[in-house]
Amino acid sequence: MKRKLIAAIGVATMAATVAACGSGDDGGGGGSSDAITVWLMDGSAPEEWVDELNAAFEEEHGVTVNVEIQQWDGIQDRVTTALSEDGTVDVLEIGNTQTVGYANTGGLAELGDLAGEPWNEAMLESAEVDDTLYAAPWYGANRVVIYDKGIWEEAGAEVPTTREEWITALETLQENTDAEPIYLPGQSYYVMGGFVADEGGSFAVEDGDGWAGALATPEAQAGMEFYAQLQEFSNAPAEIDEAEPQQSVDIVPNGEVASWIGLGWEAAGAVAAIEEQGGEADFGYFPIPGETADQLGHVFLGGSNLAVSGRAGNSEMANEWLAMATSQEWAQKFVDANGGGVVPNRTDVTATPEEGSFAEAMVASADVGYLPPLTTGWANVETDPNPIKELMTKALNGEDYQAAAGEADSEITDRINRE
């Protein structure tokens, strides 16, 4: 997964960094019977939660926990190296779209003792291979619609609960204000993927022992058609994604944008940028609507898992630490420490974010999260030039959908089946 879909996912609600308990910044720790090494990603957990958890673990087991904070840049190479060495790391945080790949290459230990825990089903999918648990879900987050309350009030637009109402609101904004009703660049493919999932489709499907692209299907075409319907209300080019230019700091603060679709860190970034310019942000938030009021739209559920290295120096204590960190008690404390602003990893954990907050809208969609194909080769699909992005641009520019989707499916099939 891209860094900004994981690392900064909860900037709006999470503490800025995790303090290392013990030695290390990016180095590796050797195995020891009285210590374990835990790799956490920069920005993934509140400092107070980490400190309290490790103090409780050390008191119970008499084992020191050395937390080493990792940066997302270059993390895949570092993890690959660490998992090939004895005792470099015991427990590590892994992005949810990366977990299956590391499990398939034999780098992760099986976590059979945790298989029966009440995990969030949408998050559990990324942690299993052939019904075997190789990681424990830790946290998730997803996009919501962010809107300018003042512009919506001026237009007389109402917060929608269905796709149809959403289009009506955008029409109202277009008719009654000079603002751009929605900023939606042509290549926000994870947003489009949610609409495809609403229709029962996916980017790719299992095909025998491999995978095959699935964009030339009625479901994917219907999802793309709704995306195109929304995109008609945007001035954004069809050839760019949400990252370049960055919608939260380059677009929203510098123009009249009535609404956009983003993550928590993007909402926080937009607020900060507007305030730096001497303005005042007044955002509201609502979940991406579904086709009916009783079913929210699907959203890409990004996040991280916690795993034990297959070559851990202290596998027994590594398993004990992971079990404690993801237990009901400590998972609830993790959610509370984040102000309810993460999707809980367990069904027996509750999130009670502040009313009207980004987190409230985000958590509402937790049960309709979707993930891309969970296979080692998916990273090859997301490499530029991304065939899904290219298809979206072609479709928005009026090219024949089926022909363009057929080309994209061929490319996806070739890439996803590479090791």
Domain count, the chain: 2
pTM for this model (two decimals): 0.82
**Residue 232 domain-assigned?**
yes
| Whether residue 135 sits in one domain with residue 36 | yes
| Whether residue 407 sits in one domain with residue 284 | yes
Report the CATH number at residue 287: 3.40.190.10
Per-residue pLDDT of the chain (419 residues; tens, 9 = 90+): 333 333 333 333 333 333 334 433 444 444 457 999 999 998 888 999 999 999 999 999 999 999 999 987 788 889 999 999 999 999 999 988 889 989 988 999 999 999 999 999 889 999 999 999 999 999 998 999 999 999 999 999 999 999 999 999 999 999 999 999 999 999 999 999 999 999 999 999 999 999 999 999 999 999 999 999 999 999 999 999 998 899 999 999 999 999 999 998 899 899 999 999 999 999 999 999 999 999 999 999 889 999 999 999 999 999 999 999 999 999 999 999 987 778 899 999 988 889 999 999 998 987 888 989 988 888 889 888 999 999 999 999 999 999 999 999 999 999 999 87
| Whether residue 399 sits in one domain with residue 272 | yes
Q: Which domain holds residue 56?
A: 3-140+302-353
Q: Which residue type occupies 356? A: G
| Whether residue 81 sits in one domain with residue 40 | yes
**Residue 82 domain-assigned?**
yes
Q: What stretches of 14-69 show up as alpha helix (H) in DSSP? A: 47-61
**Residue 363 domain-assigned?**
no
Cβ contact 234:180 at 8 Å: yes
| Whether residue 234 sits in one domain with residue 176 | yes
Query: What is d(CA 230, CA 234) in angstroms, rounded to the nearest whole number?
Result: 7
**Residue 116 domain-assigned?**
yes
335 DSSP β-pair partners: none
Domain boundary among 327, 353, 379: 353
| Whether residue 306 sits in one domain with residue 250 | no
Two tokens at 261? 């679709």
| Whether residue 188 sits in one domain with residue 259 | yes
**Pseudo-torsion of CA 198, 201, 205, 207, nearest 10°?**
140
**Residue 360 domain-assigned?**
no
| Whether residue 348 sits in one domain with residue 375 | no
The number of helices, as runs of H, and strands, as runs of E, in the chain is 16, 14
| Whether residue 122 sits in one domain with residue 60 | yes
For 91, the enclosing helix (H) or strand (E) is strand 91-95
Query: What is d(CA 350, CA 165) in angstroms, rounded to the nearest whole number?
Result: 30
- Sorted by sequence, the CB contacts under 8 Å of residue 208 that are 6+ apart come out as none
